Structure 1
């Protein structure tokens, strides 16, 4: 898209302001509103931000501005906010791409793929909770009648929030984003909207756009759209699974091979990639499950519906939803991640792990087509299967000590991420919860 075409596009759609955007280390959208008649400045001079005011940029108040140079190919209307559009861009400092800008981190991994003539295609599946805060401060499903013990795919649960779901879906569809499924998930008040796959950078940009739309449309309806990984201990959490494959310059899926002896349609390249993901599962988890709350979802155990649906086992299998990696024929699905993840960082780390598996020709071993939830810890161990980190402290320690992640994502980034997350863990660990008061107040 040229500047002239972009100006016409904004004028035809009555756009008055363009949000120049980037995301912080947590994956939260940050913006400045720029009047539409200053569009050219976004893509030439860029838009300046005080980097010290944003988590994770590692910029001090006395240092140069963090400048976002707009990418016209990302110029997108915001149908839920008439008169507004948004544009993502490249975060720079003193004219150079900032090395710990999370979108830049993903682009570096995509460049490594491009050097081989490859493109990473991903389909990211966001789960979320539609909630309402009551006058007493409690939080309940927005649909008060959504109370079934096993509510997955329930018609009434889907129908009674259709105003919200339709508005979000139709906003995305009007932008050319192909939404192909909407469903009620396994927890009360939990839903999922699925988009068609795209290249990894576009997928991450779309997730941010979707979160913006969902949050604002929910707010207008008096609801809260929450991407918190585990809003309630007795219910399943909000995952964000990543389906992925690598394609060549002709668009051929290099992960697919119909002659796969295991019957999963995977190529040797895909097996090597999968082996890399499994080999680096523990540090990878820090980017896929990046909050204290993530590890309330990522546990072995049961919920009110009968299962957590959160895979903690470092294994892969044919359509096995109890393993970290599921194989839905001819591609892989990484199921560890939750809806609190930064999609740029999660995909960058996944690519780094997978490429290491390809470069070293790692073998993932035989597929594990067993219900891990039904096995005892001893039975899992007998199969040589490890479990993922069970706390934020454990996963960030694995990330800090990972030579691969330090090299691929950047040692400065890893240090910044670990520092922030360690502070989060310490703050949480020192907090006295209602559970502790209830259990210990008069116990001793």
Structure 2
């Protein structure tokens, strides 16, 4: 049995797949992002209509191996990691990561683990070593099995909120560079209040935040969780935040 076959045959997975279908119907989700993490932390993957959930949960989707390196090229113009002649990886969704997106409730996302193609001549269906999240899940399981302990991690991400100049390019920070000043933190209130709203909907727990020492620099901290779950939860910012449409 290959790694891929063993993964989709895990005890209890079939019930989880059925539970996701019930959630899809209950929430009227029509489209799902099937996501995984690139080697630089980018969210990559495919979008598939929710009608095909069961088939995709069993068979997965295919995508070029180079997507694990953002499908970028090096300075010589060659694809990083894999050439254009390479086969395609297989992404298998983790049903327990299914989550409706609060900024567009017609859409949900699910994170995936990647495997080598079923038709590879060498190691078909083997766990893909370029899959960062998949590696973390496996390493964490080995850690648990060996030490009977959980590896947990919290994060303190910081981000810059910049103004847009007449030419459409960044033109300085939104606030002044006064570290921990509440008036500067307050100026970014629409941002962190929207983040809190989305976090409640997605099961994330923000514990504190502050204004840092650069213009527009905001820090939002999160409670610790098991490593794979933390990495899954803190994906990219939603489009309405990134574009500045925060409103009040």
Equivalent pairs, count: 215
Q: Does 1:33 align with 2:53?
A: no
Aligned to 1:9: 23
What RMSD in Å do the two structures reach over aligned CA positions? 2.1
- Once the two structures are superposed, residues 361-385 of structure 1 have per-residue CA deviations (whole angstroms, 9 ceiling, x without a partner) of xxxxxxxxxxxxxxxxxxxxxxxxx
1:109 aligned to 136, 139, 162, which one? Answer: 139
Q: CA 1:222–1:170 in 2, change beyond 3 Å: closer, same or farther?
A: closer
Aligned to 1:221: 245
How many Å apart are 1:62 and its aligned residue? 2.5
Instruction: Give the Cα separation in 2 of the matches to 1:81 and 1:132.
Output: 25
1:175 aligned to 202, 206, 217, which one? Answer: 202
Instruction: Give the Cα separation in 2 of the matches to 1:53 and 1:206.
Output: 20
How many Å apart are 1:105 and its aligned residue? 2.3
Q: CA 1:60–1:138 in 2, change beyond 3 Å: closer, same or farther?
A: closer
Aligned to 1:99: 129
Q: Does 1:162 align with 2:193?
A: no
How many Å apart are 1:195 and its aligned residue? 1.6
Normalising by structure 1, we get a TM-score of 0.46
- Once the two structures are superposed, residues 312-367 of structure 1 have per-residue CA deviations (whole angstroms, 9 ceiling, x without a partner) of xxxxxxxxxxxxxxxxxxxxxxxxxxxxxxxxxxxxxxxxxxxxxxxxxxxxxxxx
CA contact (8 A) 1:76 1:86 kept: yes
SS at match of 2:139: helix
CA contact (8 A) 1:47 1:69 kept: yes
Q: Does 1:122 align with 2:153?
A: yes
CA contact (8 A) 1:130 1:141 kept: yes
Q: CA 1:33–1:98 in 2, change beyond 3 Å: closer, same or farther?
A: same
Aligned to 1:421: none
Instruction: Give the Cα separation in 2 of the matches to 1:167 and 1:70.
Output: 28
How many Å apart are 1:51 and its aligned residue? 2.0
Segments of 4+ moved more than 6 angstroms: none
Q: CA 1:108–1:6 in 2, change beyond 3 Å: closer, same or farther?
A: closer
1:80 aligned to 103, 107, 114, which one? Answer: 103
How many Å apart are 1:93 and its aligned residue? 1.0
Q: Does 1:140 align with 2:172?
A: yes
CA contact (8 A) 2:34 2:93 kept: yes
- Once the two structures are superposed, residues 86-141 of structure 1 have per-residue CA deviations (whole angstroms, 9 ceiling, x without a partner) of 11111111222101211122223213312221210111111111112211434212
Higher RCO (CA 8 Å, separation ≥ 6 residues): 2
Instruction: Give the Cα separation in 2 of the matches to 1:220 and 1:159.
Output: 16
CA contact (8 A) 2:64 2:89 kept: yes
**Which one has the bigger strand percentage?**
2
Specify every segment of 5 or more residues in structure 2 that has no aligned partner in the other structure, as ranges: 1-14, 71-79, 118-124
Aligned to 1:48: 62
- Once the two structures are superposed, residues 386-423 of structure 1 have per-residue CA deviations (whole angstroms, 9 ceiling, x without a partner) of xxxxxxxxxxxxxxxxxxxxxxxxxxxxxxxxxxxxxx
Specify every segment of 5 or more residues in structure 1 that has no aligned partner in the other structure, as ranges: 224-444
How many Å apart are 1:153 and its aligned residue? 2.0
5 Å-filtered alignment, 1:203-218, equals: 203-208=230-235, 211-213=236-238, 216-218=240-242
CA contact (8 A) 2:191 2:246 kept: no
Normalising by structure 2, we get a TM-score of 0.79
Question: Larger Rg: 1 or 2?
Answer: 1
How many Å apart are 1:82 and its aligned residue? 2.4
Instruction: Give the Cα separation in 1 of the matches to 2:16 and 2:225.
Output: 22
Aligned to 1:405: none
